[in-house]
Amino acid sequence: MRLAGKVALVTGAQQGIGAAIGRALAGEGADVALTWLDDERGARAVANYVRQAGRRAHLIKADVAKLADIEAMVAETVGALGVPDILVNNAGVYPRVKFLEMRESDWDYVLDINLKAGCFAAVAVAKVLIAAGKGGSIINLSSQAMRGAVRGVHYSASKGGVVSMTRAMALELAPHNIRVNAIAPGTTDTAQPRYGNTDAELVEMAKATIPLGGKLLAPDQIARSAVFLASDEADAITGQVLHVNGGSYMA
């Protein structure tokens, strides 16, 4: 198992990509702390999977838009499972808004969760890793939408910011043997891309833009990339963006 003996903290793990990442990390031997906000049942299902895989799971209700919740979730992870060797900043939102109708509250809501939360979660985890004299792996979730998305100026800005933030974090944390990378998924079969769209629109978009297979990506495909970046197989990789999109965007 590639992650045997490791402790991971995954934000936004109640569904979709976050849930898949939590399951995949456990499948490779990690104990996993899983944060959730408004779907306790979904989070418990992921935790049950982790335990059935023979690993420890710990559930934490957290609003990652709040700094106090971020600091508390890291402290709770340390107390329940130990210092997290792996942080996956997965929590994210994408409420579609036309640019000319965007309000300050729309912007702040998306940037607080998609960008600010990842920054301060990484700060908190890096501090406990450094205090423990340990290296680690931080994985931030960006998106193919960083290149631009209709009705998603705030979302594209947040995900582009994740890329720049990842590179800067990687430089600062390299002396402490803490690697920082990002995954930029293409359109993935989760609830998020359906908000504000119809299923027919999604199917046509997939056929037109995804060369490999002509279908939406599965959360498990993103999760396998996270396992790789968290493992020692990626011990020389930091400051990078791994695009997982079926060829719809070639960086």
DSSP, collapsed to helix, strand or coil, labels residue 10 as strand
CA dihedral in degrees (92, 111, 70, 11; nearest 10)? Answer: 10
CA angle 155, 157, 158 (to 5 degrees): 65
Buried b (16+ CB within 10 A) or exposed e, 69-108: bbbebbebbbeebbbbbbbbbbbbbbeebeeeeeeeebee
Residue linked to tokens 């995949």: 24
DSSP track, 182-214: EEEE-SBSSSGGGTTS-HHHHHHHHHHH-TTTS
Asked if residues 219 and 188 have their Cβ atoms less than 8 Å apart, the reply is yes
140 bridge partner residues = 89, 182
User: Burial of 175 by CB count in 10 Å (0-12 exposed, 13-18 middle, 19+ buried)?
Assistant: exposed
Report how far apart, in Å, the C-alpha atoms of 6 and of each of 133, 135, 143 are: 15, 11, 26
Among residues 109, 155, 195, 249, the one annotated as catalytic is 155
CA distance 124 to 208: 41
The verdict on whether 155 is a catalytic residue reads yes
Residues identified as active-site: 155
